[in-house]
Amino acid sequence: MHDDRTLVEARLKRVLDERIRPAVYPESVPLDVAVWHAPGEPVPVAEGLAAAPEPIEVGARWGAPWGTSWFCVTGTVPEAWAGRTVEALLDLGFDENMPGFQCEGLVYRPDGTPVKGLNPRNQWVRIGAPVEGGEQVRLHIEAASNPVILDYHPFLPTQLGDKETAGSAPQYRLERMDLAVFDETVWQLVIDLEVLGELMAELPVESARRWDILRAVERALDAVDLQDVGGTAAAARALLAEVLSVPAVPSAHRISAVGHAHIDSAWLWPLRETVRKVARTTSNMTALIEDEPDFVFAMSQAQQWAWVKEHRPEVWARVKKAVTDGRFVPAGGMWVESDTNMPGSEAMARQFVHGKRFFLDEFGIENDEAWLPDTFGFAAGLPQIVKAAGSKWLLTQKISWSQTNRFPHHTFQWEGIDGTRIFTHFPPVDTYNCSMKGSEIAHAARNFKDKGVARHSLAPTGWGDGGGGTTREMIAKAGRLRDLEGSATVVWETPERFFEKAEAEYPNAPVWVGELYLELHRATLTSQAKTKQGNRRSEHLLREAELWAATATVRTGFPYPYEELDRIWKTVLLHQFHDILPGSSIAWVHREARRTYEKVAEELDGIIDAAQRALAGEGSAALLFNSAPHRREGVPAGGAGTPLVEGEAALAPRVNGGYVLDNGLLRIEIDARGLVVSAYDLGVGRETVAPGQAANLLQIHPDFPNMWDAWDVDEFYRNTVTDLVDADEIVPGEDGASVRIVRSFGASRVTQVLSLAPGERRLGIDTEVDWHETEKFLKLAFPLDVHADRYASETQFGHFYRPTHTNTSWEAAKFEACNHRFVHIEEPGWGVALVNDSTYGHDVTRTVRDTDSGTTTTVRVSLLRAPRFPDPETDQGVHRFRHALVPGAAIGDAVREGWRINLPQRRVTGSREVAPLVTVDQDAVVVTAVKLADDGSGDVVVRFHESHGGRTRAALTAGFEIAAVTVTDLLERPLAGAAAPLRDGDRVTVPLRPFELVTLRLKRA
């Protein structure tokens, strides 16, 4: 037989595009349309429905950026359509390639009942099936004219990302507002042909199955009368029935489809718009659930559920019913799909506490899975947190975006820093927006790396990022793929059912140890510095507020601010969403975040001040309140007392210019350029700075990545560097032993204060940058005379080691990485720590010197970037950073100094010292939280972990009489299987393995 394959395939495409798809709606009549443009921010539904609209014609422009327009469409069903299926086709000016990224709408009935959402892939509203002739139609559309930020030419700077700069030009043209007859048979024929055509394209040309499909498609096309598609569609479908009924082979890959609409809680739209995106999507998904008996939809992010409950009670009622029916599934058990690299230990724990508690309180449902399809890599401390929250599985897709190395598994056990393992799955479909295309299903089957030992994978199915969710077309395709030769099999299932099957079939899954590093989006550790500073400051203020409020409640009867702390925690957790904290959202989002963090700080400072004053009492004695987990200036951790300062520090001129700082422990030499050329550990006679090098060196690079400006820094940025060595001014500082250095470069200015405190083995570095560069990357470098093939960086509840070398492509790809409060580099017996109060990105490199063959290990802190997309004014303005260089530091010193710089001293006048509420006898054991139990019982909850990476036995002593001690999970529930701790009165002894996390609940007598 002659090969006419391409001829038939081309015929299929044209006939579908030009004849069959248009015949889905064979008859239509226009609707009358009127519109009212809300003058400012979105208005309540009742106000929008009651407004007086004015007529508007199809073809007219509408919608200022970020505006809201209320359309009213009215019409009458023609008498001739009686008994047929009729839908309203409501096209606001959609581009079908941009679901979730442009205008959207939510349709209401006149009584305010929400019907369904409108988006580029979901433009229909069912009027009746069948309808009555002469039926009156009246619908209202709350239409959001969200501007297109990520356009066909992506990453171009735009002022549309903030309502304050976006202007008022109409963004859209009203395209279609019609009533139309819906031909169900033709629509089903479209799905038949799409499924077979897409499957055919994925099969080998030489396979018999491909040719069977080709001939069946050809016969079906022959049966279609192109002048009467509706009248011949059934006959065409009959000719396809046989090839659509051939079952899959027994070895076919098995896909669990989960209805999904990954909705970014903020990204190219502000938080307030996400509230409406969620309402539109959940309206659509509850409607689909009613129509499709097999369909299951999963939605993560308890915050988004809470928004529906608060802002759309009518939708919430439908959601609750669907949850009760087991069809609308809470997923993930986190407050939002957060970044997991940068949130601190307690914040990461609270993501699960607040997320899981919401689902438990509202539905009695507990999640076993963490659901993070789009998060930009995963910190090595996360497995222990997931398990401590009572969960055991993780799903993500994003690692498939890695540029350099392909991850070797799709299903595996992930082991964290403490040895905890969780069963993890990466969907091989490689998208969290699966649309059931044949190419996607075939890719999942081909791509799955665990063939031969496993055969199940998951496909999150539905339009996402900007929401939208699953469509009826996707469900129809999945129905045909349930058991079809040549394809993987597809069945709608909950995440829980998938994980149960996957874990059961793969009991000896391979193990991946350590962080899941995404070889992409590395610049998110630096972009939008003030958002990151707001997060870090809020985390530590929350620690202080809980600590001092709990102490004051137990000691003085101070009213513990349960509701305030709950609300503030949820606000901070929301802003850890994976496009807010990483700095990859539009200007509007970060402008609001700055204001939110200011309000959070003000409120928490008020709680802290009130609690401390209640504890200190009236008086004039100067008391130091020590919020850090280690003794400071003679004051115990978690206590308050009179500080003790020993020793002194001196400032002297340096020969050849500059200054020398000396406190008997360190001698710091600052040359005439304002650079640190020596940091000498007097105790052991050891130099810190590499020979011939200078530390505290500001360096600037060009920074224009190939794409994803706010997200990415590409390795070639290192090819060009400028050392900022010229100083405008080098003078003694105003406070004690300190030096002030001022530099100018480009349009920017940097002021640094280097200081040495009495009795402390650390060089303080306070940096203020008035930043007005674009597409530049500012680093602060410390070349150290340390020979190390690995270094430690802090992560949640411990630290993680990374190599300093680039032996393999895996190591070379980690040219920008995350740390929390410290980076530590060590030779046996002597090390150096670099601690910070608000930066996360860094790099560590090593070279061998020609002069003495010694090794220079250079640590560089990432301070600022200046990408122009999606926020063209990213980070312009004044920024302040605090760092400290700690020569001679062991890992314990790094931990202690990291906490110290993030919890500055608070001095309060009063009459009485404050004993700690709890004390721990091991310096290696860090208490991360002291609080009252969330249930209002008055029990004291203490969370702590081993921080040095070794085994220990810690004795925790309560500063109050305790009646009982319980080991709990993160949600403060008794931990199943946990051994009862050894108790002697108010003293509790707990053995700890390296980095082990423990939560104790102390019942007060």
Ordered alpha helix ranges (H), 425-557: 438-447, 472-480, 495-505, 529-556
| Residue 507 preceded by cis peptide, ω within 30 | no
Catalytic residue among 162, 178, 183, 374: 374
Residue type at 985 in one-letter notation: G
For residue 647, the model assigns a pLDDT of 86
Using the 8-state DSSP alphabet, how is residue 849 labeled? -
For residue 1, the model assigns a pLDDT of 63
The reply to whether 162 belongs to the active site is: no
- Closest CA relative to residue 293, chosen from 492, 128, 118: 492
Q: What is the DSSP string of 850-907?
A: TTT--EEEEEEEEEEE---SS-TTTT-EEEEEEEEEEET--HHHHHHHHHHHHS--EE
Q: Which residues contact 606 (CB under 8 A, 6 or more apart)?
A: none
CA 315 to chain centre: 26
Residue 378 dihedral angles phi and psi, to the nearest 5°: -135, 125
Contact (Cβ atoms closer than 8 angstroms) between residue 967 and residue 981: yes
For residue 3, the model assigns a pLDDT of 86
Contact (Cβ atoms closer than 8 angstroms) between residue 302 and residue 264: no
Contact (Cβ atoms closer than 8 angstroms) between residue 344 and residue 820: yes
pLDDT of 589-622, one tens digit each? 999 999 999 999 999 999 999 999 999 999 999 9
| Residue 65 preceded by cis peptide, ω within 30 | no
For residue 736, the model assigns a pLDDT of 83
Token look-up 């390639």 returns 97
Tell me the C-alpha distance between 592 and 602, whole Å. 16
Ordered alpha helix ranges (H), 298-370: 302-311, 313-324, 345-363
- Closest CA relative to residue 797, chosen from 820, 829, 773: 820
388: three-class secondary structure by DSSP? helix
For residue 913, the model assigns a pLDDT of 96
For residue 132, the model assigns a pLDDT of 94
Which secondary-structure segment (H or E) carries 98? none
**Is 360 exposed, middle or buried, given 0-12, 13-18 or 19+ CB atoms closer than 10 A?**
middle
Which stretches of the chain score pLDDT less than 70?
1
What letters, b where the CB count within 10 A reaches 16 and e where it falls short, cover 201-217? ebbeeeeebbbbbbebb
Tell me the C-alpha distance between 297 and 460, whole Å. 9
Contact (Cβ atoms closer than 8 angstroms) between residue 650 and residue 663: yes
